[in-house]
Structure 1
């Protein structure tokens, strides 16, 4: 029986993927907004290769692996190139119908991998990584201990493009608080433009116990924008986002105004929809 360390997390779009928990927790685990990997049992570690192979053997033998696999947890790209190559190669050996492999990644790990290693992973089936951009405002990024700034995020995104690996970027409305609401939204749109990801997911910040920003809020050191300010941030974000050909989603359960669009074609219609709400 495959045993997962719980809770574990995956993007909504990986709902039909087999979850291969090759790592436990998040190697960075300092982001102040995140309460996902705070449990003692989620302290970061990598599963031994033999254990990973046993999981793959059992999953393949039970028909659990179809055409897609998501390698968990928080940023599996932190694994050494050799180990990732071994894992992905073994997956392909055991699951003949496998078409795609995806994972969370952070900016620093992408840069450390470099284009040639990313190309090797692409050849083995890695077609997309999910990255938490959160903000394009360097003041906010430093405050939330993201571990990457605007320029580094652009560099990592360009490496992904060169390697042929798609980029699914997540940003957080409200992450600048009331104080830097406009600056955060504008800079984040500019970051998306500079990175030009294939997918964008805009979520609204939720204050959850266990996250450092929740304690800041309780002490009165952080003020979360209200729902109308969140929608205004979405307007500013969209105004400043230019994608060559990308999907823009703001339809997470945390959002006040659902958006599902393809840029650049749908951009003006999205802005019209947002402004109608703000003016009502």
Structure 2
């Protein structure tokens, strides 16, 4: 069976925290693939691989990997796989990699909506413990503008649905998604969204224009202008100011796209994070988009 494996030559994307995980590509592309800021899966028709292909790849990696502690199911939305098939995949992973301690995947709003609570519980009980969800914003206006295909309330309800059945949730947001437009409504709405959902992990990225994305085409036409680093820091500060939670949230804004390396836990580190941003702003050194404070 191993000689039937044909590994993809296309780029494979994964969250930064999955850097040392085995990336198992069970689907190609993204089931939504319409977000205006994203070009990761443009030109890649969405496809769920056959069980034969997936099992062959699992066997392939078992024969070449001594120890696998974590597995990440790629591409953009493996949770969309029909439940019965996904569970068979998870059982095979457990059989072939008995040492594996965590399986995780991206989850789109569509996949969370399609799965019942009972299905999600079964998936959770068979191995997937962490879901990565790209919320991008807590503002209805912004979600509509970027073609997320969901309202803020719908998205929040879906995150709460995942949490209810026991999944850990890692939710990301994008600062600067509005470019040089007024960010205040978006920042306040995003902070309140986080407060409502209380994800286990919150990540804030800074917008990076990607070629072949719809937003990049707007930029080429002069219809979109990027936010300056100072404004993005102010936006992140306003998001933080509007986060009011009692549960512990691991907060990170230390992606390569960010202008200032921020990390801490809510609620205990909220004031420290605000002070760090204020200190950076007081230095008046973020003069252009190419400057990073690491």
| TM tier relative to shorter chain | over 0.9
1:231-242 equivalences in 2 (<5 Å): 231-242=233-244
Residues 249-279 of structure 1, C-alpha deviation per residue, up to 9 Å, x if partnerless? 0001111111011111111100111112223
Q: Which residue of 1 aligns with 2:158?
A: 156
Distance 1:65 1:145 in 2: 40
Which segment is superposed worse, 144-153 or 178-187? 178-187
Distance 1:65 1:178 in 2: 47
What is the CA distance between 1:24 and its match in structure 2?
Answer: 0.5
What is the CA distance between 1:150 and its match in structure 2?
Answer: 0.6
Distance 1:5 1:84 in 2: 24
Distance 1:30 1:167 in 2: 22
Contact 1:132–1:170, Cα closer than 8 Å, also in 2:
yes
TM-score (norm 1): 0.96
- SS of the residue aligned with 1:29? coil
Q: State how many pairs are aligned.
A: 278
Distance 1:105 1:247 in 2: 19
Select the residue among 3, 16, 25 that pairs with 2:7.
Answer: 3
Contact 1:160–1:167, Cα closer than 8 Å, also in 2:
yes
- SS of the residue aligned with 1:88? helix
1:259 and 2:253 aligned: no
Unaligned runs of 5+ in 2: 284-294
Which segment is superposed worse, 131-140 or 270-279? 270-279
Select the residue among 38, 42, 66 that pairs with 1:38.
Answer: 42
What is the CA distance between 1:63 and its match in structure 2?
Answer: 2.5
Select the residue among 220, 241, 248 that pairs with 2:251.
Answer: 248
1:218 and 2:210 aligned: no
What is the CA distance between 1:108 and its match in structure 2?
Answer: 2.1
Q: Per the alignment, do residues 197 and 227 of structure 1 end up closer, same or farther by CA in structure 2, a change over 3 Å counting? A: same
Q: Which residue of 1 aligns with 2:26?
A: 22
TM-score (norm 2): 0.91
Which segment is superposed worse, 109-118 or 136-145? 109-118
Which segment is superposed worse, 105-114 or 50-59? 105-114
1:107 and 2:109 aligned: yes
Q: Which residue of 1 aligns with 2:79?
A: 77
Distance 1:179 1:14 in 2: 33
Q: Which residue of 2 aligns with 1:146?
A: 148
Distance 2:55 2:103 in 1: 16
Contact 1:129–1:165, Cα closer than 8 Å, also in 2:
yes
What is the CA distance between 1:185 and its match in structure 2?
Answer: 1.2
Q: Per the alignment, do residues 65 and 106 of structure 1 end up closer, same or farther by CA in structure 2, a change over 3 Å counting? A: farther
- SS of the residue aligned with 1:84? helix
Detail structure 1 runs of 4+ shifted over 3 Å in the superposition: none
- SS of the residue aligned with 1:38? coil
Select the residue among 193, 197, 202 that pairs with 2:195.
Answer: 193
RMSD: 1.3
Distance 2:250 2:220 in 1: 36
Distance 1:64 1:147 in 2: 42
Which segment is superposed worse, 216-225 or 231-240? 216-225
Contact 1:200–1:248, Cα closer than 8 Å, also in 2:
yes
